[in-house]
Structure 1
Amino acid sequence: MSIVPFEALACPLDGVPLHREGAAWRCAGNHNFDIARQGYVHLLPVQNKRSREPGDSKDMVAARQRFLDAGYYQPIADAVARAALEGVSPGSTLACLDAGCGEGYYLRRLAAVAGDSHTLATLGLDISKWAVLAAARQDRRPSWVVGSNANLPVLPASLDRILCLFGFPVYSEFARVLRPGGKLLQVDAGQDHLRELREIIYPSVREDSKTITRAPDGFRRAGTEDLRFTLHLAGAGPIADLLAMTPHLYRASPEGRARAATLETLSVTVDVCLQIFERCTLTD
């Protein structure tokens, strides 16, 4: 497979192009952003932080890495990869952003499914420094950036694909950075996602879903795919990792977390919706 770094980065302070010069990215306004020795760059201005260390903690990132590397969510990753590559001519270059990349699992699966038929110019962005650090340590070929979906450090109309899996989409920003005809691939939890775990840790389970019924402004719906399967988790470790990698870890009461900690086996439903939105052209 051919993986190259995505280089159409924009200064997070003034929006002008960044250019790599040695071990740093610089813009015409003399803003300088050093590249860490692990290979990532921090493009989240301190004034845009809501906490000292926003995003997932080091422990949450480690739990997610163990869980995803075990292959439990590979059916989701492969469905997203197939949708991202659909209709792409062999030998072409696809510029792709994972917006909320975590430790990079879904970009790695995209590269694996693409094989040698495409060149991927990839960018992984996450607000968590620990997530981006873990991603960069596993594969230095993509561009890895600490940043925010609310202010993507990406030049306008420079991307062909955006992945947003269990994340926080900012559609105005996604529309700005996608080329006309580019696609947003969004994965959200369905009503039954992790229901068996939620029934253990909560007094009652809400009946809701993040699936949106209309295309966001600037997009048209290009497809929807529901994915549903059952995971059989054996041992306290995978169960603890599943809980630790989700917001349920902090939403559950101490009593709920204690009940989950006693489990040695768990069969749990995965219920997600993959929605595909295409960036409208000027004539749409």
Structure 2
Amino acid sequence: MNITPFQSLACPLDGDPMRREGASWRCAAGHTFDVARQGYTHLLPVQKKRSLDPGDSKAMVLARQRFLNGGHYQPIAAAVNRLSLADLPDSSSYSCLDAGCGEGYYLRQLALHVGSEEAASEKSMALVGLDISKAAILSATRQAGSDKARQPNWLVGSNANLPMLAGSLDRVLCLFGFPVYAEFARVLKPGGRVIQVDAGPDHLRELREIIYPELKPERKQEAEAPDNFVRGATDTLRYNLDLNAAEPIADLLAMTPHLYRANAKGRDRAAALNSLAVTVDIRLTTFERIGAL
């Protein structure tokens, strides 16, 4: 399966279709957004930002980059790849958005899988990675490789205002992120799917027991499907992870919200660790888009 450019971008200011003109994207009203020399496009207008530099910081991005590139979450990527390509409609081309892609690890893994012999065919898939953090998208572009023609489109943007045309996507990935189901429903084709990854009740329990005085009771999982979706199967992925050095332990903590939720004593206890056996426990849930656009 070939990777092709995603062409169905919408202007983040007026929602109109945009077309690529050289190194820029432009809508009919003349709003223009340049493709940066690193290869990404900034589609988060300043008036739609809630802060000057929203999203993950450079330090969080670098920690996540080191940890994920160490292969610690590769089983999660393999499960996402399988669900992303399962039951695709009978078509010659598909499109997939990673909404909140961070530094792009999971989308790069999907790109490798799509381009592998295992997934080889005459069909094509356009891949788009979007994140509100400019630092994350810069990291994604740096790691994506030199073959620009086979890279995902990388965008700075918000899940609350996706810069895609209505009904233009077959898959939306939301991996440890912030789902905005109304926007997901708008941009998905009927029959398209959201693939969502969330932490299970025992995810990183051993680390949490170290940094918190006590663990809060787990909230009950949401039972109802969002509007315009029907819930599919929820799969559990659970495995043990042995971290045998201080750096991956520090990176794991730094890439999660736990770094900021823990008090100073909890962070100090984590910083003193040189090894940690931790449980990875996640839920993969599929939602299918129903109804007309």
The answer for the alignment partner of 2:4 in structure 1 is: 4
Give the equivalent residue in structure 2 for 1:160: 170
Contact 1:63 1:245 in 2 (8 A): yes
Q: How does 1:62-141 map to 2 (within 5 A)?
A: 62-88=62-88, 92-114=92-114, 115=116, 116-117=120-121, 118-139=123-144, 140=148, 141=151
In the TM superposition, what is the alpha-carbon distance from 1:84 to its structure 2 partner?
A: 1.0
User: In 2, are the aligned partners of 1:188 and 1:210 still within 8 Å (CA)?
Assistant: no
Q: Post-superposition shift, 1:188?
A: 0.6
Letter in 2 for 1:174: F
Deviation at 1:119, TM superposition (A): 2.0
Match of 2:161 among 140, 151, 154: 151
Match status 1:264 vs 2:269: no
CA shift at 1:207, angstroms?
Answer: 2.4
Aligned-pair CA distance for 1:224: 1.1
Q: Shift in Å at residue 92 of structure 1?
A: 3.3
The alpha carbon displacement at 1:233 in A equals: 0.3
1:243 corresponds to 2:253: yes
- Structure 2 residue matching 1:207: 3-state secondary structure: coil
**C-alpha distance in 1 between matches for 2:220 and 2:173:** 16
| Aligned mate of 1:217, from 223, 227, 233 | 227
Q: Distance in 2 between matches of 1:136 and 1:76?
A: 22
- d(CA) in 1 for partners of 2:94 and 2:215? 40
Distance in 2, matches of 1:91 and 1:153, equals 23
- Amino acid corresponding to residue 197 of structure 1 in structure 2: L
Change (3 A) 1:268 1:209: farther
Conserved? CA contact 1:183–1:278, under 8 Å: yes
Q: Using the TM superposition, give the Cα deviation of residue 90 of structure 1 relative to its aligned residue in structure 2, in angstroms.
A: 8.7
Structure 1 residues 216 and 90: CA distance shift in structure 2, 3 A: closer
State the partner residue of 1:36.
Answer: 36
1:230-265 deviations in Å (ceiling 9; x for gaps)? 110010000000001111111111111111000000
Report percent identity of matched pairs: 64
The structural deviation recorded for 1:91 is: 8.0
Report the Cα offset of residue 5 of structure 1.
2.0
One-letter code aligned to 1:195: R
Secondary structure of 1:14 counterpart: coil
Alignment partners' CA distance in 2, 1:148 and 1:209: 26
Which residue matches 1:20? 20
Q: How does 1:190-209 map to 2 (within 5 A)?
A: 190-209=200-219
Q: In the alignment, residue 278 of structure 1 is paired with which amino acid? A: E
Instruction: After TM superposition, give the deviation of residue 100 of structure 1 in Å.
Output: 0.3
Q: Which stretch of the first structure deviates more once superposed, 80-89 or 149-158?
A: 80-89
C-alpha displacement of 1:110: 1.3
Quote the Cα distance in structure 2 between the aligned partners of 1:229 and 1:65: 21
Task: Identify the match of residue 186 of structure 1 among 181, 184, 196.
Answer: 196
> RMSD of the TM alignment (CA)?
1.6
TM-superposed CA distance for 1:142, in Å, is 1.1
Where 1:63 maps in the other structure, the secondary structure is helix
SS of residue matched to 1:9 = coil
Following the alignment from structure 1 to structure 2, what is the Cα–Cα distance between the partners of residues 210 and 3?
Answer: 39
C-alpha separation in 2, matches of 1:73 and 1:228: 11
Question: Given the superposition, is the C-alpha separation of residues 192 and 127 from structure 1 closer, same or farther in structure 2, using an over 3 Å criterion?
Answer: same
* Residue equivalent to 1:61: 61
Matched letter for residue 128 of structure 1: S
Q: 1:274 to 1:144 in 2, by over 3 A?
A: same
1:280 is matched with which residue: 274, 279, 290?
A: 290
Question: 1:190–1:208: 8 Å Cα contact kept in structure 2?
Answer: no
User: Per the alignment, in what secondary structure is the counterpart of residue 7 of structure 2?
Assistant: coil
C-alpha separation in 2, matches of 1:188 and 1:37? 34
Paired residues, number: 283
Runs (5+) with no aligned partner, structure 1: none
